[in-house]
Amino acid sequence: MICPSCGKNNPSTSAYCCQCGERLAESSKDESTTILTPVETDAGEEVRVIVPEVELACGEAMFVVKRGPNAGARFLLDKDVTTAGRHPESDIFLDDITVSRRHVEIRKSNGFKAVDMGSLNGTYVNKSRVEEVDLSSGDEVQIGKFKLIFLCK
């Protein structure tokens, strides 16, 4: 059963999501649409990741974790500034040593912009290291070992 909050695939007998704790629907029938996205791993082999179809209102954006712990998790970028990093108070908490405590900010102002906060390992957009870059829907943002897909409308 797919969690409506984070997209985690849970056993059909689960009443609550094993990742985020959200109460799951009583019905075991899954009516959500999924997209199978081919992903190239570092070894060059292709892997398929299930990403729940996302409906966003005009001007909304989100990240979907493509690779790393919590693959499939979704993070709505609904603030003027959304922080991502290993610090527990980050809006997007990425708990891995490859992520700096205050790694990157996503700034919303006439679109969305990723701004690296001086992270040790850098922030990459579409495999290029960036300090500051405008984001477009479908961009792949790498923060440490996490790969996230940026979706916006």
Residue ranges and CATH numbers for the domains of the chain are 57-152 (2.60.200.20)
Backbone angles phi, psi at 101, to 5 degrees: -60, -45
pLDDT of residue 141: 97
Q: What band does 12 get if pLDDT is binned at 50, 70 and 90?
A: confident
* pTM, two decimal places: 0.66
User: What is the arithmetic mean of pLDDT over 126-139?
Assistant: 96
Of 41-55, 101-115, 128-142, which gets the smallest average pLDDT? Answer: 41-55
Task: Show the CA angle centred on residue 116, arms to residues 113 and 118, nearest 5°.
Answer: 160
Q: What band does 44 get if pLDDT is binned at 50, 70 and 90?
A: low
